[in-house]
């Protein structure tokens, strides 16, 4: 049986960085589930058809990290039929031996509720906006407004809203270096193995 690590949290909290580091440290597979939604949104057209027809080539597009792709992902992620089309893909991915790390918004609550480890990674709005602005070369105030809009949409959607699983460990990265955040996450996983 695969060892599954579910990492959820809002944009720019550090969940992707932590997920990649954990996957590398433990030799597990990694899936940034947000990329599925970004790729679906970037395809354009009918979002349900785009989700059903998603291919590995769609995930390799070089424009998926843009702010526009993130906003499109948040909008289409609120469509229940899009979510349903991508659930099976994510669950199959999670079952790969020896283990998998999935990061997103609903991994611990919907996709892999039985995950061995569930982390909910957070950071203050201002820290997240500064991180995303530095990553994209954008205005921090504009990023702050976009992140708050997205957080509101993601947490209030009817289908799989952004929230921590009841048994998730909350990891606040606001004042942590990347190394410290990763070290804390590794320690949590090691205790569960």
| 9 assigned ligand-binding residue | yes
CB-based contact 87:111 (threshold 8 Å)? yes
| 159 assigned ligand-binding residue | no
Determine the angle formed by the axes of helices 15-26 and 178-192, rounding to 10 degrees.
50
Q: Is the peptide bond before 98 cis (omega within 30 degrees of 0)?
A: yes
| 137 assigned ligand-binding residue | no
| 2 assigned ligand-binding residue | no
| 11 assigned ligand-binding residue | yes
| DSSP E strand boundaries for the chain | 3-8, 29-32, 99-104, 117-122, 169-172
Look at residue 28 and give its three-state secondary structure: coil
Q: d(Cα 90, Cα 72) in Å, to the nearest integer?
A: 20
Of the candidates 79, 103, 74, 85, the residue with the CA atom closest to the CA atom of residue 159: 79
| 14 assigned ligand-binding residue | yes
Determine the angle formed by the axes of helices 33-43 and 67-76, rounding to 10 degrees.
90
Q: d(Cα 80, Cα 97) in Å, to the nearest integer?
A: 29
Length of the chain in terms of residues written:
193
| 12 assigned ligand-binding residue | yes
Please state the residue numbers annotated as binding site for ATP. Answer: 9-17
* Residues making up the binding site: 9-17
């Amino acid at each position: 049986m695969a060892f599954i690590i579910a990492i959820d949290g809002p944009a720019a909290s550090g969940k992707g960085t932590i997920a990649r580091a954990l996957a590398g440290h433990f030799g597990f597979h990694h899936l940034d589930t947000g990329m599925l939604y970004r790729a679906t949104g970037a395809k354009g057209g009918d979002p349900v058809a785009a989700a059903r027809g998603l291919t590995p080539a769609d995930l390799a597009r070089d424009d998926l990290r843009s702010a526009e792709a993130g906003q499109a992902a948040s909008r289409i992620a609120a469509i229940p039929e899009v979510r349903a089309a991508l659930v099976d893909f994510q669950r199959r991915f999670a079952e790969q031996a020896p283990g998998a790390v999935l990061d997103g918004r609903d991994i611990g609550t919907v996709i892999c509720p039985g995950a061995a480890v569930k982390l909910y990674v957070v950071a203050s709005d201002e820290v997240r906006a500064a991180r995303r602005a530095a990553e994209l070369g954008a205005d921090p105030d504009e990023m702050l407004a976009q992140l708050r809009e997205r957080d509101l949409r993601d947490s209030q959607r009817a289908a799989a809203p952004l929230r921590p699983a009841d048994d998730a460990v909350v990891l606040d990265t606001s004042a942590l270096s990347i190394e410290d955040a990763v070290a804390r996450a590794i320690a949590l996983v090691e205790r569960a193995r």
